[in-house]
């Protein structure tokens, strides 16, 4: 298309028209370090940095034109979705449940009780994302935002060794940040775009999404503020996943449902905000036996509900062999 051919492509924020050194400094201080992050920003967010409304609107429009965020026909959208990649979980049956693995450009949520395997799956995904594409990987790095001090490099080494990867290189390709409270957690994600671009990151993990929010916002009077912050945080995550064609994964805690007489006795924390923003939700629970887990697909935009049995061993996430 002629319009496509005439469109200017900007590689850096400072390349945009009207963006000088002072404005660049302001933007980067607020976490807008790449053209992609500007393209998915709102005018209100830029005005908060001290930039005028008109200038903010112009900058956002230029950035969006640069990376082609426009109205599309459904057939064009179908063609664009050819860029959507999938990341293996390590279990063939779990991949099958998810339509071939975890999708890029979407949020996948794993929730369950303590010990159900949420963080173990996150460890496995950090290794798997580095695998060649023909083995279900994305040949890329991972970003791990840790709110519960769960990442164990020794476990990564164990899983990488089993898959025939260089353990030291695998550990080096995981960018780690520990979030000390909910505001710090939000800030880490807001400032993540430059790290994602520099390190070829195609997997973004927040483990866990709701832990800090749940402990800091106590009482019904704080519920609205908590939900607004979680909503904004998750939308930032999905925008990053779309801008960088990355897999976004969050883990979530559960709470008891005392009024449940039938079905599951627990539900995910975060209510409708988390439920609506997560594209794919998987409930994890222990089966009889220490290593076996059951993953149930609770919701998906297009996949049917269902569940599969897999196991978590010393080597990582695997299928259950016949007779086990």
Does the pLDDT of residue 102 top 60, yes or no?
A: yes
Domain boundaries, given as residue ranges, for the chain: 2-66, 81-319
pLDDT mean over 259-275 = 75
Residue 41 CA to residue 60 CA, distance in Å, equals 7
The CATH architecture assigned to 81-319 reads 3-Layer(aba) Sandwich (3.40)
CATH no., domain 2-66:
1.10.150.20
Does the pLDDT of residue 5 top 60, yes or no?
A: no
Give, to the nearest 10 degrees, the angle between helix 118-128 and helix 153-162.
60
pLDDT of amino acid 262: 58
**Which has more pLDDT, 94 or 46?**
94
pLDDT of amino acid 79: 76
Does the pLDDT of residue 185 top 90, yes or no?
A: yes
Q: Which two tokens stand for residue 271?
A: 């209510």
Confidence of residue 69 (pLDDT cuts 50, 70, 90): low
Helix, strand, coil percentages, rounded to 5, for the chain: 45, 20, 35
pLDDT mean over 114-124 = 96
CA-wise closest residue to 111 among 225, 274, 257: 274
Q: What percent of the chain shows pLDDT beyond 70?
A: 92
pLDDT mean over 14-32 = 85
CA-wise closest residue to 295 among 124, 144, 127: 124
Q: Which residues are within 8 A (CB) of 276 and not within 5 positions of it... i.e. 6 or more apart?
A: none
pLDDT of amino acid 258: 60
pTM metric for this prediction: 0.80
Confidence of residue 286 (pLDDT cuts 50, 70, 90): very high
Does the pLDDT of residue 183 top 90, yes or no?
A: yes
Total residues found in the chain within this entry:
324
Q: Which tens digit of pLDDT belongs to each residue from 186-228?
A: 999 999 999 999 999 999 999 999 999 999 998 889 999 999 9
pLDDT mean over 286-303 = 90
pLDDT of amino acid 111: 96
Q: Sort 18 into a burial class: Cβ within 10 Å, 0-12 / 13-18 / 19+.
A: exposed
Average pLDDT in the chain = 89
pLDDT mean over 38-42 = 83
Residue 88 CA to residue 217 CA, distance in Å, equals 35
pLDDT of amino acid 71: 67
Does the pLDDT of residue 140 top 70, yes or no?
A: yes
pLDDT of amino acid 19: 87
Confidence of residue 65 (pLDDT cuts 50, 70, 90): confident
Q: Sort 244 into a burial class: Cβ within 10 Å, 0-12 / 13-18 / 19+.
A: buried
Does the pLDDT of residue 320 top 70, yes or no?
A: yes
CA-wise closest residue to 181 among 152, 225, 214: 214
Does the pLDDT of residue 261 top 60, yes or no?
A: no
pLDDT of amino acid 267: 86
pLDDT of amino acid 178: 97
């Amino acid at each position: 298309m002629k319009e496509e051919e005439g469109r200017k492509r900007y590689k850096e924020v400072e390349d945009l028209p009207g963006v000088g050194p002072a404005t660049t400094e302001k933007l980067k201080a607020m976490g807008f370090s790449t053209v992609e992050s500007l393209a998915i920003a709102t005018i209100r967010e830029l005005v908060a940095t001290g930039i005028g409304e008109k200038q903010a609107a112009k900058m956002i429009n230029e950035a969006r034109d640069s990376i082609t965020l426009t109205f599309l026909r459904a057939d064009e959208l179908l063609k664009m979705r050819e860029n959507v990649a999938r990341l293996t979980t390590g279990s063939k049956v779990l991949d099958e449940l998810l339509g071939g693995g975890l999708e890029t450009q979407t949020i996948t949520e794993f929730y369950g009780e303590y010990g159900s395997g949420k963080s173990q799956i996150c460890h496995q995904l950090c290794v798997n994302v580095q695998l060649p594409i023909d083995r279900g990987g994305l040949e890329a790095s991972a970003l791990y935002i840790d709110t519960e001090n769960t990442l164990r490099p020794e476990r990564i080494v164990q899983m990488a060794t089993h898959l025939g990867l260089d353990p030291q290189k695998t550990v080096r390709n995981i960018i780690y940040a520990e979030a000390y409270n909910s505001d710090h957690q939000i800030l880490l994600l807001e400032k993540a775009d430059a790290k994602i671009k520099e390190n070829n990151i195609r997997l973004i993990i927040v483990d866990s999404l709701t832990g800090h929010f749940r402990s800091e916002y106590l009482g019904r009077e704080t519920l609205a503020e908590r939900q607004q912050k979680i909503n904004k945080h998750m939308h930032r995550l999905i925008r990053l996943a779309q801008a960088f064609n990355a897999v976004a994964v969050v883990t979530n805690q559960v709470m008891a449902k005392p009024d449940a007489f039938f079905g599951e006795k627990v539900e995910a924390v975060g209510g409708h905000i988390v439920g609506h923003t997560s594209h794919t939700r998987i409930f994890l629970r222990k089966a009889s036996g220490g290593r076996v887990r059951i993953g149930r697909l609770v919701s998906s935009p297009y996949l049917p509900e269902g569940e599969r049995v897999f196991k978590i061993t010393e080597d990582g996430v695997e299928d259950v062999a016949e007779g086990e």
